[in-house]
Structures are given as C-alpha cells and as structure tokens.
Amino acid sequence: MAFDLKYINERIRADAAGFVEACEADYAEKVQRAAVAIAENRTRSPIVLLSGPSGSGKTTTAKRISDVLETLGVRAHTVAMDEYYMASREDGPHTPNGEPDFESPERLDLALIDSHFDDLENGQEIQIPHFSFSLQRRVEPKHPPMSLGKDEIAIFEGIHALNSRITERHPTAFKLYISARSDTMLDGKVVFKGTWTRLVRRTIRDDLFRGANAAVTLGMWANVRRGEKAYISPFKDQADLQFDTALPYEISAMREYAKTAFKKAPEGAERRDEFEKLTEILDLYELLDCNLVPPKALIREFIGGGTYKY
C-alpha cells in the first residue's frame, strides 16, 4: 500500500484531528486482529514471537496487543529479547570488514532463549536476564521471576524473534511480523520511501532519548539495513500474521522533530547531504500539531510524551 501526499495534506488542512483518529483506528484494528489470533492460539502455545526491523514499533505494538488481550481475559507479559544479548563489542560475530556485527542473531543467548521457552511451555518459572548496553555485559536481573498460569501468555519482541534457530524448536508459538513499509507518492512518483519512515523514527528517538546525533544514526544505518536483509527479512514469511505499522499522518507529526535532529549532524559529517535532502522532502508535508497524537499512539515510542514507558 502507498500513501498519497496530496491526500495527506488535504486531510490535515481540512480536519487534522479526524485524520489522526482515522489513522489510529486503522492501526488499532490491526492490533485487535493480532490479539484475537494470539488468544485463539494460546491453547497450542503460550509463547508469542514478535519480530520486525529497527524502527517498526515493536515495543508499542506488543504493549497495545497486551492491552487488547486483557479485555479478552488473557494476561500478557512482554519481554524484550535484547535482554538475552550476551556478547560484548569484542566478542561475538563480526562483519566482513572486521567491525562487530551487532545485527547478528549470534549475539543472543539462543540456548537460554530455547530453554526458557521450554520452561514456560511446561509451566515452570524462569529468570529473565538483564543486559546492560552501557556496560556491554550482563548485570543483576531487573525482572522478577516469571511463570505462566492459565490464560497467560508471554510476548517476546525483538528483531530476531522469527529466526529459524528459534521457531524450528517452537513451531506452535504464534509468530507476528511488523514493519513500516508504505511509500508515499506525489504525482505518481515515490517521494518518501517506507524505509525512510523507520529511519526518521530511529533518528528522532536516538536524538531525544539515546544521546546519539543524526550523523551517528545514519552512519549505522547501512549496517542496520544489511542486517535486516541478512537476518530479519528472510524469515518474515514464517509469520502467522504480518502488518504494516506506517501511519499516514506520522511524518507530518514528526516533521519538526526530524528537522531539529538532522540539524545536529555536524558540518562535514559523513552522508550529511542525505539529511539535507530528507529535510527538503519533509517540507512537502503539511505540519500536524503533535498535541493531536494520542498518548498510546505508536509514534509516541519515538517522540515521547505517551502513556507507555520504554
């Protein structure tokens, strides 16, 4: 599906609040459909595997699904698979040019994940580890021990959740894949690629909450995309359900956040011209007041000010 920029701008000028409400309703319907399917699958497995590339909104989607499951009488626990990282920068796999390959599934403790899934499926208690990215090692667990009772499920979300190393051992787990995939068209031509939506989301989040400027984010983006093509996309068709998390109004809402972040890339930074090009494209979008963005909206994961904690 592709969005039409003229339609987006017309809707924002005519009724911005109504446009946001309609876009959010479409996303909510996708979440509802996923939650119902997960609830129906719980007699086969209490494990849910939620995958998608960087910037897809996995964490918010997992939380929104959990909210819907509560209304269906199912309690959901959400677990970030990043907690199962075990390799420091020096250890683990490397890219062909010798850099640490942070995108590889080999950086996860796959044996422990497998063991924990077995334990949960058998009604046993597990202790989720905690990996400190600032210290590059495991530290004292921050989560209480977890077990699953009747009508309880665990949603494990991470970029490698659908890797065959995991799914082949747990074929009855419910598998969900999400991504922001919709291009935006203007006069029959693509003016904003779907992958740019995720880049904008990530750039804003890195700038606001992770202490990384736009040059750092873009500098990593080629390797992130390499990892997606090698380790994530090949497994998406194993999913029981897939959906697109792109929202037609979101670039208009995030426009000024993105432009502010782009300006922080220092003069002479590698690929800074790409941000300058993106800034020109962003100005094609009508500005949307961020006060209209609901507190549980997916893009609150990237711009902040929402209900959920990340």
Under a CB-based contact definition with an 8 Å cutoff, are residues 274 and 199 in contact?
no
Q: What is the pLDDT of residues 213-222, one digit of tens each?
A: 888 898 888 8
Residue-number span of the structural domain to which 88 is assigned:
3-303
Q: What is the pLDDT of residues 27-54, one digit of tens each?
A: 999 999 999 999 999 999 999 999 999 9
Residue 180 lies in a domain: yes
Residue 308 lies in a domain: no
CATH code of the domain containing 281: 3.40.50.300
- pTM, two decimal places: 0.94
Residue 309 lies in a domain: no
Residue 117 lies in a domain: yes
Contacts of 192 (CB under 8 A, 6+ apart): 5, 183, 184, 251, 281
Residue 284 lies in a domain: yes
Q: What is the pLDDT of residues 136-189, one digit of tens each?
A: 788 999 989 999 999 999 999 999 999 999 999 999 999 999 999 999 999 999
Contacts of 106 (CB under 8 A, 6+ apart): 87, 92, 93
User: Does residue 228 have a pLDDT over 90?
Assistant: yes
> How many structural domains are present in the chain?
1
